[in-house]
Copies of this chain bind each other. A is one copy, B any other.
Amino acid sequence: MNTISSDPIAPLAVGVDFGGTFVKIGVCRGAELLETMAPIPTADHPGPEALIHAMAECIADLRVRHPNIKAVGVGVPGLVDYDCGFVHVLTNVPGWKQIPLREILSSQTGLPVTVENDANAMTYAEWRYGAGRGLKNVIGLTLGTGVGGGMVLDGKMYRGSQFSAGEIGQMSIHYDGVSGHYGNLGALEKYIGNQQIAEHAQRRYAQARRHKEIEDCAPKDIAAAAQAGDDVARKIWGEVADWLGTALASIAWLLNPDAFVIGGGVAQAGALLFEPLEQRVKSMLSEVVSGSLKILPAKFNNEAGIIGNAALAGDSQAA
């Protein structure tokens, strides 16, 4: 519960963080999360119709205690048309293809609904109320299984021509590198995704004649080992920082932003990642571009989705 960023004039809005495993729903006033419902297991409601109905029931329940709720924002793990509130496809949620989510949820709740990509919503939360608050140009990243991204440019969410902008994990860091999901050589997430970090760590340990099971090479294990003084583990974080830093430097040359705000599981490594990352990025930039550039850990983690989507929905009503 965040009180520092409370925004007494923000309207009450519901944020829905629709993930592959759980749908998390809460009600916010600005960054203040007033109440969170028990997460809905996504797989318990096969098919869009049943799941949307479960969301609507949950929202109705919240409105009993918060009758002034003005809007609902839903963030989804996939491609949406923000203007129409339409879900094109969620690759990790069966049956979600070409779903007019805004239309259905709005008719079931009687409330205005926004539908946004999850990484965009996270970025919006950080820009509106979090680590990037008050800045003009903010790039948000989530580091986990893959690498997601979002952008606020000139003080506005930037979505691109087909609402597909921000795919930082697909950017190339090597013109002849590892092939990504789309045949894109050198795709960043093929270097610093959770699983890729684990596999790389296992190889590095093997080179140091130390056998490690892959289950013991997750980013959190490598972070714990590095913190305990393990040199191999520390070097692995240096390499992750070099790969990620190369992409961030390219983005900085292109967009000259005020800040990168980085969240997600891999970012939990903290200074082990952020220190070499800052060094790498700044070593690749001019003084003008790097001078006031900030590389910040995200303020919101698990709540970023709820807060960001509630903020998008609330602000869309105020606008």
Contacts and interface: CB of A to CB of B under 8 A. Distances in A.
A39 B153 CA distance: 38
A166 B289 CA distance: 11
Interface in A164-208: 164-168, 170-176, 182-186
A161 interface: yes
User: For this complex, into which size category does the number of interface residues on chain A fall?
Assistant: 35 or more
A318 to B, nearest CB: 20
A60 interface: no
A160 B285 CA distance: 14
Nearest to A251: B254
B243 A162 contact: no
A98 interface: no
Contacts of A175: 173-174, 242-243, 246
Contacts of A243: 175
B172 A284 contact: yes
Pairs A-B, 9 closest by C-beta atoms: A160-B256, A184-B284, A175-B246, A171-B250, A165-B256, A170-B253, A167-B253, A164-B256, A173-B175
22 contacts: A79-B288, A151-B254, A153-B158, A154-B156, A159-B256, A160-B256, A161-B258, A162-B288, A163-B256, A164-B256, A164-B288, A165-B256, A167-B256, A170-B253, A172-B246, A172-B247, A175-B242, A175-B246, A183-B284, A184-B249, A184-B284, A251-B254
